[in-house]
Structure 1
Amino acid sequence: MHQLNLPPYAYKIKEMDGKTYIFDTIRKKYLVLTPEEWVRQHFINLLLNHYGYSKNLLRLEGGLRYNRLQKRTDIVIFDNEGKPFLLVECKAADVAINRAVIEQASRYNLTLRCPFMVVTNGINTFCFKVDFETGQYEQLKDLPKINRL
């Protein structure tokens, strides 16, 4: 797997039937280790252990409908009132974070209406504050901290 620009952590890996699995601390089970899952698990570690988000406020691979199509979000963080707060779209490290990736996350966010949105490939991470009234996105230098909830 690629070396990421995210904090290292003591992940758990196991091999079974010729496949590699990584332990997901949120869902409490081993998942097939794909390049995207590698980034997602590192980003979950960042959210929990470096930004102080609660495991109870995270939902992984949640379903949503967009243009009559069923889609899955990588990570959604909810505020203390249960409203969607931060959408995180994870890509594999070798996938460039470009306009198309940001637009994909933005389309998902039209349904969720999170005031903050992140796109990351573990190498590059971009965070935006979303103004739904004007349709404007403001790029932030850092993720919103837990004390802003």
Structure 2
Amino acid sequence: MLPLQFKEYKFRFKNSENKVQIFDVIRKKFVQLQPEEWVRQHVVHYLIEEKKYPISLINVEKQLTINNLKKRYDIVVFNTDGTIHILVECKAPQIKITQNTFDQIAQYNLQLNANYLMVTNGLQHLYCEMDFEKEKYTFLRKIPDFSR
């Protein structure tokens, strides 16, 4: 797989039916290694190892319904009170981060109300903080570290 703009993390791999799988520490199972999954697993390790978010506050690939359409978010980090702190949208490295990509996560966030958004293809990362009162967002250099 392509090297990404993250530190090197230790991953567990296995082959199953001639397909490579990577262990997801959040879902506690091996999942098929696709380009988007490669990015998602790097973000999970980044959140845990660099930003110090507890595994118990991270959720991966859950379904939500927007305008009667079933969608899936990539990663959500919860606050300790159960509200959503960070919403992450992962794309495969060959997918460019565009306004459409950002619009997708913004649409998800209309329902989820995360304080921070992160969009990444593993090579380029965009972070922003939401201001719900002013109905706008501010781009940041990074997302905050975990704090109790």
Normalising by the residue count of structure 1, what TM-score does the alignment of the two structures yield? 0.96
Q: Deviations over 1:84-128 (max 9, x none)?
A: 110000000111111110000000000000011000011011110
Secondary structure of the corresponding residue to residue 49 of structure 1: helix
Gaps spanning 5+ residues in structure 1: where? Answer: none
CA-atom RMSD in angstroms: 0.9
Please give the alpha-carbon distance, in whole angstroms, between the structure 2 residues aligned to 1:102 and 1:135: 15
Match of 1:83 in 2: 83
Which residue type is aligned with residue 67 of structure 1? Answer: N
Query: Aligned pairs, how many?
Result: 148
Match of 2:130 in 1: 130
Match of 1:70 in 2: 70
Match of 2:52 in 1: 52
Gaps spanning 5+ residues in structure 2: where? Answer: none
Match of 1:61 in 2: 61
Secondary structure of the corresponding residue to residue 96 of structure 2: coil
Secondary structure of the corresponding residue to residue 92 of structure 2: coil
Match of 1:13 in 2: 13
Identity of aligned residues (%): 39
Q: Deviations over 1:67-97 (max 9, x none)?
A: 1111110000000111111000000011111
